[in-house]
């Protein structure tokens, strides 16, 4: 397995290798990929990426010749250049760095905010130069720029310049006497918080990584609090492999990654001769970041497509057209994920998945309006919420007093009193065994994912029932309409929107990569939780009002095709 390095600096910040030289050196070192993560700068990215691309083009004739002659050895690859950045932030008086990987460095909003960020550093540099000049050192910001062209000037540049001019004997002396954090000529600059840096990286469609957390010298509780705050802000990964970590420190960061469900990252923090003895890809000699870490990070680049079934993905016969099936095939083959999100019970969704041939790898199912999330690969739930037997007993009793049909569920059955017009209507699509009982609550000792209350002709009666039991339900139980005939009663911590947020975190997918489509009131939370909410042409007015996109065609005419063809190719 080849190595990678996801934390590297060039002359565009405080490294000594140009972006192109880094590509050559990474190739020489046999790296599969490296991330150029200059401090608060993206200036070197275009050079590095373009240079690597030109090298690949130039090597193609050689590779063809090797194949034609039957040369068996695999030709060394030009390393992939991952566009990145390292943002300096402040957390309770401590410098904290956040690395962004796979950033869209051409994003206009991101570039504007980054310019504002760099301007604050420029103002600070002018002040530091003035202080050092007052101390008798002929240092100006213009002279630093002339000596280090095309670089974001940092304290490392000050130290090198001061040594070259004979003001100091070593780099360390500069930091100990003049420009270290507690020294008289150091000027702190305005800094963003880690949470703000994470938001900026996410806005650029990047993967925010907490860089070298051991270096902040925080206590264990302080470090835990930092990671928790960053996770809340959208942190997706943490640097668990780093040049200076001991084995015990690496284990500590891996435990934090597991606790907060973060992806692993790793890198040398290579600066060339500015960090003597520290080499690209190898750190101080023992570092190795395997390429499978990069593969896990790349999985975050897919889009998640959460789609309701009835009235959205399916036509009115509960089927998928050949054109829709072909579009879904292409979507999943491109690496994107289909997540079926329905009020239906799980067995009913699995039946449709099988009959319509949409049983793709790496699928998840949100059933019972978010009360159950199911992993189709492992064939097991990953999250469950159930109404308690006590709540079922009370709610069913109140429905019976108002002469409304109501039923519950076991994992594989509908639990009800008897066949009636409501149940006959419901089971025309939901093909589950019926379990007739006198007491519904007694038949579900483990609880039920939801209760289904049905009235075929008068929504107002369902609304009256909802209002009647609302004081009992409080904030523990929610009630939503999936259509005018169905009132669904489920735990408050369920719901399609909650399920989307859980899966987004579970799969380490940025919010910007989430899409959700629906047509009914029970889809509202799903659309609101997604970055891009899609209402069908046949959707209820309240759903269209909340959507970012309304399809031109309805579910009977493959309305979702326009979405799949635009965002999922």
CATH number for the domain spanning 436: value is 3.30.1240.10
User: Residue 540 — left, alpha, or beta (φ > 0 → left; ψ -120 to 50 → alpha)?
Assistant: beta
pLDDT of residue 76: 76
Task: For residue 512, tell me if it sits in a domain.
Answer: yes
- 335's CB contacts (< 8 A; 6+ apart) are 301, 302
Say whether both 458 and 508 belong to one domain: no
pLDDT of residue 151: 65
The C-alpha atoms of residue 391 and residue 447 are separated, in whole angstroms, by: 9
Q: Tens digit of pLDDT for each residue in 105-158?
A: 999 999 998 888 777 778 888 999 999 999 899 999 999 988 887 566 778 889
For the chain, which residues score pLDDT lower than 50? 72
Task: For residue 141, tell me if it sits in a domain.
Answer: no
User: Residue 281 — left, alpha, or beta (φ > 0 → left; ψ -120 to 50 → alpha)?
Assistant: left
Q: Which two tokens stand for residue 192?
A: 């963003």
The C-alpha atoms of residue 10 and residue 39 are separated, in whole angstroms, by: 9
Assess contact for 250 and 220: CB atoms under 8 A.
no
Task: For residue 407, tell me if it sits in a domain.
Answer: yes
pLDDT of residue 155: 85
User: Residue 237, Cβ neighbours under 10 Å: how many?
Assistant: 24
Q: Where are the alpha helices (DSSP H) in 496-567?
A: 496-506, 524-529, 541-546, 561-567
Residue 358 host element (H or E): none
What is the overall mean pLDDT for the chain?
93
Task: For residue 431, tell me if it sits in a domain.
Answer: yes
**Phi, psi of 315, deg, nearest 5:** -80, -175
The C-alpha atoms of residue 150 and residue 12 are separated, in whole angstroms, by: 6
Q: Tens digit of pLDDT for each residue in 63-76?
A: 666 666 665 456 67
Task: For residue 138, tell me if it sits in a domain.
Answer: no
Say whether both 369 and 411 belong to one domain: no
Say whether both 517 and 549 belong to one domain: yes
Say whether both 215 and 341 belong to one domain: no
365, HSE (Cβ side, Cα atoms, 13 Å): 29
CA quadruple 179, 181, 185, 190: dihedral sign: positive
Q: Which residues pair with 238 in a beta bridge?
A: 210, 264
Q: Where are the alpha helices (DSSP H) in 242-388?
A: 247-259, 291-298, 322-333, 346-355
**Phi, psi of 153, deg, nearest 5:** -70, 125
Q: What is the DSSP letter of 75?
A: P
Residue 226 host element (H or E): helix 220-233
Say whether both 439 and 381 belong to one domain: no
- Asked which of 439, 462, 491 is the last residue of a domain, the reply is 491
CATH number for the domain spanning 509: value is 3.40.50.1000
Instruction: Kindly tell me the number of DSSP H helices and DSSP E strands found in the chain.
Output: 19, 22
Residue 5 host element (H or E): strand 3-8
Say whether both 266 and 195 belong to one domain: yes
The C-alpha atoms of residue 512 and residue 504 are separated, in whole angstroms, by: 10
- Asked which of 463, 491, 519 is the last residue of a domain, the reply is 491
pLDDT of residue 278: 97
Say whether both 375 and 505 belong to one domain: yes
Q: Which two tokens stand for residue 156?
A: 């490392």
pLDDT of residue 19: 97
The C-alpha atoms of residue 262 and residue 505 are separated, in whole angstroms, by: 9
pLDDT of residue 137: 92
Say whether both 276 and 369 belong to one domain: no
Task: For residue 56, tell me if it sits in a domain.
Answer: yes
- Asked which of 250, 284, 301 is the last residue of a domain, the reply is 301
User: Residue 404, Cβ neighbours under 10 Å: how many?
Assistant: 18
Assess contact for 404 and 465: CB atoms under 8 A.
yes
Say whether both 308 and 270 belong to one domain: no
Q: Tens digit of pLDDT for each residue in 323-360?
A: 999 999 999 999 999 999 999 999 999 999 999 999 99
Collapsing DSSP to helix, strand or coil, 368 comes out as helix
Which residue's structure tokens are 């640097």? 239
Q: Which residues pair with 406 in a beta bridge?
A: 453
The range of the structural domain enclosing residue 311 comes to 304-385+494-567
Say whether both 476 and 508 belong to one domain: no
State the total domains in the chain.
3
Q: Which two tokens stand for residue 271?
A: 């600066």
Say whether both 293 and 200 belong to one domain: yes
**Among candidate residues 348, 347, 345, 382, the one with its CA nearest the CA of residue 362:** 382
Say whether both 94 and 201 belong to one domain: yes
The C-alpha atoms of residue 379 and residue 367 are separated, in whole angstroms, by: 14
pLDDT of residue 119: 77
């Amino acid at each position: 397995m080849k190595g990678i390095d996801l934390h590297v600096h060039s002359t565009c910040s405080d490294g000594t290798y140009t972006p192109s030289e880094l590509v050559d050196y990474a190739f020489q070192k046999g790296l599969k990929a490296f991330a150029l993560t200059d401090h608060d700068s993206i200036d070197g990215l275009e050079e590095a990426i373009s240079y690597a691309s030109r090298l690949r083009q130039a090597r193609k004739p050689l590779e063809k010749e090797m194949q034609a002659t039957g040369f068996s050895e695999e030709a060394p690859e030009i390393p992939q250049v991952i566009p990145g950045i390292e943002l300096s932030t402040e957390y309770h008086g401590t410098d904290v760095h956040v690395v962004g990987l796979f950033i869209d460095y051409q994003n206009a909003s991101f570039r504007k905010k980054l310019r504002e960020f760099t301007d604050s550093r420029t103002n600070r540099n002018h002040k530091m130069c003035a202080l050092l000049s007052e101390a008798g050192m002929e240092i100006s910001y213009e002279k630093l720029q002339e000596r280090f062209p095309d670089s974001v000037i940092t304290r490392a540049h000050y130290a090198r310049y001061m040594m070259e001019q004979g003001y100091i004997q070593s780099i360390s002396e500069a930091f100990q006497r003049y420009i270290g954090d507690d020294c008289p000529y150091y000027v702190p600059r305005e800094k963003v918080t880690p949470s703000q840096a994470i938001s900026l990286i996410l806005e650029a469609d990047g993967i925010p990584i907490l860089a070298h957390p051991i270096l902040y010298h925080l206590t264990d509780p302080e470090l835990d609090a930092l990671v928790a705050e960053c996770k809340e802000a959208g942190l997706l990964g943490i640097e668990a492999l780093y040049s200076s970590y001991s084995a015990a420190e690496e284990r500590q960061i891996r435990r934090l990654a597991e606790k907060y469900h973060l992806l692993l990252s790793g890198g040398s923090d290579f600066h060339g001769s500015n960090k003597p003895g520290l080499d690209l890809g190898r750190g101080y000699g023992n570092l190795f970041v395997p390429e499978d870490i990069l593969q896990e990070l790349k999985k975050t680049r897919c889009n998640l497509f959460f789609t309701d079934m009835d009235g959205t993905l399916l036509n009115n016969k509960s089927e998928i057209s050949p054109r829709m099936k072909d579009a879904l095939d292409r979507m999943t083959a491109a690496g994107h994920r289909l997540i079926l999100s329905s009020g239906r019970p799980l067995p009913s969704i699995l039946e449709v998945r099988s009959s319509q041939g949409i049983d793709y790898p790496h699928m998840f199912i949100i059933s019972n309006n978010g009360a159950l999330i199911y992993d189709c690969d492992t064939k097991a739930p990953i999250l469950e919420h159930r109404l308690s037997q006590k709540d079922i007993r009370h709610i069913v009793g109140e429905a019976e007093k108002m002469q409304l049909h109501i039923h519950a569920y076991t994992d594989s059955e509908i639990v009800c009193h008897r066949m009636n017009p409501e149940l006959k209507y419901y089971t025309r699509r939901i093909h589950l065994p019926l379990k007739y009982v006198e007491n519904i609550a007694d038949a579900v000792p483990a609880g039920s994912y939801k209760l289904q209350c049905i009235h075929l002709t008068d929504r107002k009666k369902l609304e009256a029932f909802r209002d009647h039991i609302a004081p009992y339900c409080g904030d523990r139980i929610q009630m939503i309409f999936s259509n005018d005939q169905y009132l669904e009663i489920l735990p408050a911590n369920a719901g399609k929107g909650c399920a989307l947020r859980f899966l987004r975190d579970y799969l380490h997918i940025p919010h910007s990569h989430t899409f959700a489509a629906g047509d009914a009131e029970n889809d509202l939370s799903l659309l609101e939780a997604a970055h891009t909410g899609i209402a069908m042409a046949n959707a209820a007015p309240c759903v269209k009002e909340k959507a970012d996109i309304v399809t031109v065609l309805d579910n009977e005419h493959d309305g979702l095709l326009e979405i799949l063809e635009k965002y999922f190719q």
